[in-house]
Amino acid sequence: MEKFFSVEDVDELDKVVQEALSLKANPHEHSELGKHKMLGLVFLNPSLRTRLSTQKAAINLGMDVMVMNMDKDGWALETQDGVVMNGTTVEHIREAAAVMGEYCDILGLRSFPGLKDRELDYSEDLFNKFVKFCGVPVVSLESATRHPLQSLTDLITITEHKKVQKPKVVLAWAPHIKALPQAVPNSFSEWMCKAQEQGLVEFTVAHPVGYELHEDFTKGATIVNDLDAALDGADFVYVKNWSSYRDYGKVFPVLQNWMLDNQKLKLTNDAKVMHCLPVRRDLELASEILDGPNSLVIKEASNRVWAAQVVLKRMLAKLK
Ligand code: CP
């Protein structure tokens, strides 16, 4: 595995999930694999789970880890070619990525979208340039359009907790006060669409009109604009806010109640409730659910380690 960026970087979903669960059962089984190998984690945006779980996964594999908070501690990056750098940017991505590639055997990068220029964000210009110039395998720690470590985690969590062979999984839009990226829902949706193709789940996306995701991410999904209808018979509800793709980065007032609470949960098949975190309590998701027996959010966050570990293990195996 040279790069972990999307669901396309994994062939058989069930196989990677089983490998992750095997690592969960024996976290230190491959503790020699990463000996004398360096992982560099580069953050252009904040993180709790991705930062700590990926570090823990690397340490379980015997790797050393360096973390660079590029947004706070690095030089201001220029990402465009042909720019005379007489403004605020100090270092070009060509040099910055190449230098980090000299220090590390594998790199991880987190870079959120600007949510102003859709074409630029959806071209994944920054992530692709980082991959090109660093010269070592790269793990996405969340890019402009996807969060694959989160989505692999979510599939692992669904596999662990499912009570039927092919559970009904619903991605449910939730309210928020800020404009959030589409990366988590895009990614969750593309992983669930592939899981559906491979006979692992039935997948529905529910959102208000105006919050359609790009069709590339929802191929094969049932899409509805009525939350209550979507919740009918659901085994898993994945709650997440996102801003509009169509009116890029915009947030519209939504009159109906889209926040999942215990009343709405009654419409489901006693569904387990997931969220990638961080979550705004009683805005995105009711506290009574987060504190109740149906919430999987902590178990889900815990599984971030095994998703990161299986990806790093596969990359390390290729380095040898
Ligand atoms: N879910 C997730 O990626 O969490 P962080 O942003 O805290 O890393």
ipTM field: 0.99
The two three-digit tokens of residue 23, written as one number: 């690592």
Are 168 and 112 part of one and the same domain?
no
3-state SS, residue 107: strand
- Max CA-CA distance within the chain? 60
Atom 1 of ligand 1, nearest CA residue: 276
Are 155 and 296 part of one and the same domain?
yes
Are 161 and 296 part of one and the same domain?
yes
Angle between the N-to-C axes of helices 183-197 and 13-25, in degrees from 0 to 180, rounded to the nearest 10 = 110
Q: Is 50 in the pocket of ligand 1 (CB under 6 A)?
A: yes
User: Any idea what DSSP says for residue 285?
Assistant: B
Are 297 and 307 part of one and the same domain?
no
Are 132 and 167 part of one and the same domain?
no
Give the residue-averaged pLDDT of 192-218: 98
The two three-digit tokens of residue 313, written as one number: 């293990």
Q: Cα(194)–Cα(205) distance, rounded to whole angstroms?
A: 14
How many domains does the chain fold into?
Answer: 2
Which residues lie across from 295 on neighbouring strands? 273
Are 161 and 222 part of one and the same domain?
yes
Are 140 and 168 part of one and the same domain?
no
User: Any idea what DSSP says for residue 295?
Assistant: B
Are 140 and 156 part of one and the same domain?
no
Residue for token digits 């705004």?
A: 280
Q: Please name which of 42, 132, 47, 49 lies closest in space to residue 95, comparing C-alpha atoms.
A: 132
pLDDT at 320 over 90: no
Q: CATH number, domain at 280?
A: 3.40.50.1370
pLDDT at 311 over 80: yes
d(CA 52, ligand 1 centre) in Å: 9
Are 28 and 103 part of one and the same domain?
yes
Confidence of residue 301 (pLDDT cuts 50, 70, 90): very high
Q: Cα(77)–Cα(171) distance, rounded to whole angstroms?
A: 35
Confidence of residue 275 (pLDDT cuts 50, 70, 90): very high
pLDDT one-digit tens code per residue, 42-68: 999 999 999 999 999 999 999 999 999
Are 165 and 236 part of one and the same domain?
yes
pLDDT at 63: 98
Are 297 and 157 part of one and the same domain?
yes
User: Any idea what DSSP says for residue 132?
Assistant: H
Q: Is 240 in the pocket of ligand 1 (CB under 6 A)?
A: no
Q: In terms of pTM, does the model score above 0.90?
A: yes
pLDDT one-digit tens code per residue, 141-185: 999 999 999 999 999 999 999 999 999 999 999 999 999 999 999
Q: Which domain holds residue 81?
A: 3-146+303-319
3-state SS, residue 311: helix
pLDDT at 284: 98
Are 266 and 153 part of one and the same domain?
yes
Q: Cα(3)–Cα(315) distance, rounded to whole angstroms?
A: 8
